[in-house]
């Protein structure tokens, strides 16, 4: 409670925030957290009904902010381009981009994994994130600048059996993030890569193609992070003074040592 009171008090440096993957999990939690801090929001994902429900809820709760929704697939370069062209023509536009949409598909070793799963991960996590950067960055290239938050993962620096391509996509994001820190240095644009460990969201449900029992096993008997924990960290990064940036933040549950090694509630070690 004290923690949440503290985070509510944080003053944001930038208050116009576009979030991809805002229809569930971490993105949705970021939207709620930033709405409470008075940020205007642009919510992006494919499931329009979820975005509209969140928009209605936040607009009712915080009448002083504006919440816009855009139902699109980040794998479509054209859709992302059109979104940012539309935004650049408007007076009210984002100065923060939270590049969060992403997924893992399957947990199979390379020789038996599905190439379709690889395509989905690469197209969403790498190419989709790149489209958002490519067409979003011009909005921030101005004297007021902005902030790009990239939702990566602890597996941007680790690997595990069955996670080759998911880890590869997050390794790729790490390379892109570090490159952008060089390319955007002439501009007052902050870049932060957030690297979470296990977070209990719909992530595993998506990974296991809707198999709820299998998804629950991932979080069974452990205290994983909640989406709100990651959202708190994002809010903190956005509240830092103009001259301060956190380029990389690793955040894991206290009971997690590596991507797969965790302490269960009974004290035994899994992984
Ligand atoms: N949960 C974890 O343990 C964990 C750990 C480290 C990093 N992460 C990263 O955190 C990010 C958010 O994941 P999460 O845990 O919050 O999972 P989640 O609950 O499944 O949320 C994923 C979000 O991404 C959106 N999305 C997926 N594909 C999309 C596409 N093609 N176009 C537009 N939006 C798309 C989904 O919306 P729609 O389905 O409505 O499009 C959803 O809003 C991901 O990048 C993930 O890799 C998660």
Percentage of the chain exceeding pLDDT 90: 95
Give CA–CA dist 149/128, Å, rounded: 15
Q: In Å, how far are 75, 107, 114 from 122, measured between CA atoms?
A: 9, 15, 13
What average pLDDT does the segment 234-246 reach?
A: 96
> Which residues sit opposite 43 in a β-bridge?
19, 69
The dotted CATH code for 2-8+17-194+226-242 is 3.40.50.720
pLDDT recorded at residue 4: 60
pLDDT recorded at residue 45: 99
First to last CA, the chain: 32
pLDDT band at residue 9 under the 50/70/90 scheme: low
Are β-strands 96-99 and 262-263 bridged in parallel, bridged antiparallel, or unpaired? unpaired
- Chain-centre distance for alpha carbon 180: 17
Ligand 1 atom 31, closest CA:
73
Looking at the CA of residue 104, tell me the nearest atom of ligand 1.
47
pTM of the model: 0.97
Domain boundaries, the chain: 2-8+17-194+226-242
Q: What's the DSSP call for residue 156?
A: G
As for ligand 1, residues whose beta carbon falls within 6 Å of it are 20-27, 45-47, 73-75, 100-103, 124, 128, 151, 153, 196, 198-199, 201-203, 206, 227
Q: What is the pLDDT of residues 181-220, one digit of tens each?
A: 999 999 999 999 999 999 999 999 999 999 999 999 999 9
Q: Residue 1: pLDDT above 70?
A: no
Instruction: Return the higher-pLDDT residue of 6 and 54.
Output: 54
Give CA–CA dist 205/211, Å, rounded: 6
Q: Residue 11: pLDDT above 90?
A: no
Looking at the CA of residue 224, tell me the nearest atom of ligand 1.
3
Q: Return the ∠ at Cα 92 (arms to 88 and 96), rounded to 5°.
A: 75
């Amino acid at each position: 409670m004290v923690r949440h009171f503290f985070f509510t008090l944080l003053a944001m440096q930038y208050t116009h925030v576009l979030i991809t993957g805002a229809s569930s999990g971490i993105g949705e939690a970021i939207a709620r957290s930033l709405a409470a801090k008075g940020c205007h929001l642009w919510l992006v994902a494919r499931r329009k009904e979820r975005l509209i429900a969140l928009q209605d809820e936040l607009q009712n709760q915080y009448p002083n902010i504006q919440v816009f929704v855009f139902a699109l697939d980040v794998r479509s370069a054209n859709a992302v381009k059109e979104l940012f062209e539309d935004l650049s023509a408007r007076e009210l536009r984002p100065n923060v981009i939270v590049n969060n949409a992403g997924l893992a598909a399957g947990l199979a070793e390379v020789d038996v994994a599905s190439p379709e799963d690889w395509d989905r991960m690469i197209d969403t996590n790498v190419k989709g994130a790149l489209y958002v950067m490519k067409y979003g960055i011009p909005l921030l290239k101005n004297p007021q600048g902005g902030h790009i938050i990239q939702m990566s993962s602890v597996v941007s620096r680790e690997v595990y059996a069955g996670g080759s391509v998911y880890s590869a996509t997050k390794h790729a994001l790490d390379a892109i993030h570090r490159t952008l820190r060089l390319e955007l240095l002439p501009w007052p644009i902050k870049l932060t890569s957030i690297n979470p460990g296990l977070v209990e969201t719909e992530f595993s449900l998506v990974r296991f193609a809707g198999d709820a029992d299998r998804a629950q096993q991932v979080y069974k008997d452990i205290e994983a992070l909640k989406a709100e924990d990651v959202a708190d960290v994002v809010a903190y990064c956005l509240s830092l003074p103009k001259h301060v940036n956190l380029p990389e933040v690793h955040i894991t549950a206290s009971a997690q040592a590596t991507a797969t090694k965790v302490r269960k509630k009974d004290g035994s070690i899994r992984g």
